[in-house]
Amino acid sequence: MVGSPDVHPLARAFDSVGPEYERGRPDYPPEAVRFLAEVLDLGPGRSVVELGSGTGKFTRALRPVGARLVAIEPSEGMRAVFRAQLPDVDVRPGSAEAIPVADGSADAVVVAQAFHWFRQPDSLDEIARVLRPDGGLGLIWNRRDATVPWVAAFGAILDTYDAGHVPRTHKGAWKTAFEVHPHFSPPESKVFTWTHEGDAATFVDRALSVSFIASQPPDVRAKVADAVRSLLAEHPDTRGRDRVQMPYRTHVHWVRRH
């Protein structure tokens, strides 16, 4: 499935970094998850499809709302980590452009950290197909707060290897899909603050789990890891600390199916 034409070529790199993704990526702020559950009316008796579920980080955050969850993830490597973390949750191979659930079977579709990878308008057509009338689509992204100097320096290490082929959330191109699609309302938005605490190994894994770093040869990945360790050891905001906090801004968006 990772080799499917539905999956962006650089997104296929996630197949090899499931453990790094699980260790290095932040969880989601509980208040943001509760808010999204409220606006989408999630709870017991409701059915939710999560697209691009990865290793199950957002899935775990959603479980307390009590809805029935079906997770869809194209990467076999990611699904393996997901099953180890959440063995009792239904996770299926599939993509946003070919969702393996029946027409009109979902009260809501949610996507964490992945919508910018989806091919448009195909994925919105598929999401509209699986949603019940007036069903909701919720999107959430954790984005590093680059106004903090050491976080900006961390991002600069990564950006050295970004050839411009990766869809980046902060550029906002994903929003254009809703401007022309006949089945969805314009996105509404809310932003939450969040922090991710970890040691040097955590933030090395955070760097190595980025798609355009994961796709690099081993020597380049080792160079990135060394650069992150040096940053944390030398930057005045992080040196001498066993654990540091990376600040995030968590962006929540939601739309309704017409």
Tens-place pLDDT, residues 175-206: 888 988 999 989 999 999 999 999 999 999 99
pLDDT class of 32 with cuts at 50, 70, 90: very high
Question: Are the beta carbons of 32 and 250 closer than 8 angstroms?
Answer: yes
Cα–Cα dist 214/220, whole Å: 10
258 has pLDDT over 90:
no
Q: Give the length of the chain.
A: 258
Domain ranges of the chain: 9-144+167-195+249-256
- Using DSSP's 3-state secondary structure scheme, residue 120 falls into coil
Token reading at 36: 């999204």
Cα–Cα dist 183/200, whole Å: 45
Task: For the domain covering 9-144+167-195+249-256, report its CATH number.
Answer: 3.40.50.150
pLDDT value of position 14:
87
CA 118 to chain centre: 12
Report the pLDDT averaged over residues 216-238: 98
pLDDT digit string, tens, across residues 91-122: 999 999 999 999 999 999 999 999 999 999 99
What is this structure's pTM? 0.93
* Beta carbons within 10 angstroms of residue 220's beta carbon: 13
233 has pLDDT over 90:
yes
pLDDT value of position 191:
98
pLDDT class of 3 with cuts at 50, 70, 90: very low
Q: What percent of the chain has pLDDT over 70?
A: 93
Going by the DSSP 8-state scheme, the letter that residue 207 receives in this structure is H
pLDDT class of 174 with cuts at 50, 70, 90: confident
- Using DSSP's 3-state secondary structure scheme, residue 189 falls into strand
pLDDT class of 13 with cuts at 50, 70, 90: confident
Residue at 113: amino acid letter: Q
Sequence-distant contacts of 229-235: CB under 8 A, at least 24 apart = 229/200, 229/204, 231/150, 231/153, 231/154, 231/157, 232/150, 232/200, 232/203, 233/200, 235/149, 235/150, 235/153
Q: What percent of the chain has pLDDT over 90?
A: 86
Going by the DSSP 8-state scheme, the letter that residue 42 receives in this structure is -
